[in-house]
């Protein structure tokens, strides 16, 4: 049986739900009270997937660091990333391509490829206005911007978070 340890980044604008997604995924709970992450937090998730043990080291990055020199340090040696936006806030979706460009410009895998990245449309328990109003074709958006997939998620209602993580891990394993 093989063992893997992967550094996974969780990035996106302030307040989109990065910390909440990690809390739900790792600690199985949710808090409606907002507390901004200061600096960087880590959480470890161990999962078994297709006979393999995978350890995910999840890096929770504070939104304030956006596109500064600090992100280069955080991104170092990452194997995968989630870029998160809030389906109720169009500006957080507009920032997605900026986060992706920031990531791709600062980190590449040993084989020269970009880091596998999954897009999370979070707070889907609040509706999906941002997705429908703008007529965004998410499949096409993902292809054009180099995302390996996307999921509508809710940290509050525990929707699609495991599925999104499994998708990301499978991409990382098969591209190694
Ligand atoms: P971060 O700044 O990206 O880490 O965002 P947080 O995880 O701190 O979440 C910001 C706010 O959004 C908090 O008040 C959370 O309770 C709330 N929140 C996060 N995820 C969800 C979700 O899936 N649904 C709803 N309704 N609220 C959420
Ligand atoms: Mg946070």
Is there an atom of ligand 1 within 6 Å of 149 CB? Answer: no
Q: ipTM > 0.95?
A: yes
pLDDT tens by residue, the chain, 176 residues:
678 999 999 999 999 999 999 999 999 999 888 777 666 678 999 998 888 899 999 998 875 556 566 678 889 999 999 999 999 999 999 999 999 999 999 999 988 999 999 999 999 999 877 777 666 788 899 999 999 999 999 999 999 999 999 999 999 998 87
Mutation probe of ligand 1 site: the residue of 11, 15, 82, 86 with most atoms within 8 A of C-beta: 15
Nearest CA to ligand 1 atom 22: 123
β-strands 40-49, 52-61 pairing: antiparallel
Q: What pLDDT score does 67 carry?
A: 59
Q: What pLDDT score does 175 carry?
A: 83
Whole-model pTM: value is 0.94
Cα(103) to ligand 1 centroid in Å equals 22
- Which ligand is nearest the CA of 18, by number? 1
Is there an atom of ligand 1 within 6 Å of 160 CB? Answer: no
Q: What pLDDT score does 79 carry?
A: 96
Q: What pLDDT score does 63 carry?
A: 59
Q: What is the pLDDT of residues 76-125, one digit of tens each?
A: 999 999 999 999 999 999 999 999 999 999 999 988 999 999 999 999 99
Q: Which of 143, 69, 63 is nearest to 106 (CA)?
A: 69
């Amino acid at each position: 049986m093989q063992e893997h340890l992967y550094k996974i980044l969780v990035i996106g604008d302030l307040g989109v739900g990065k910390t909440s997604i990690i809390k739900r995924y790792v600690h199985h709970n949710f808090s409606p009270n907002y507390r901004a992450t200061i600096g960087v937090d880590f959480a470890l998730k161990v999962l078994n997937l297709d006979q393999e043990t995978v350890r995910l080291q999840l890096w929770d990055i504070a939104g304030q660091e956006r596109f500064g020199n600090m992100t280069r340090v955080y991104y170092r040696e990452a194997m995968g990333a989630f870029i998160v936006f809030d389906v109720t806030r169009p500006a957080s979706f507009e920032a997605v391509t900026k986060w992706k460009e920031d990531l791709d410009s600062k980190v590449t895998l040993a084989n020269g490829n970009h880091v596998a990245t999954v897009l999370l449309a979070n707070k889907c328990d609040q509706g999906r206005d941002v997705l429908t109003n703008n007529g965004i074709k998410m499949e096409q958006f993902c292809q054009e911007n180099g995302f390996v997939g996307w999921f509508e998620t809710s940290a509050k209602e525990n929707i699609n978070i495991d599925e999104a993580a499994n998708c990301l891990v499978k991409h990382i394993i098969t591209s190694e």
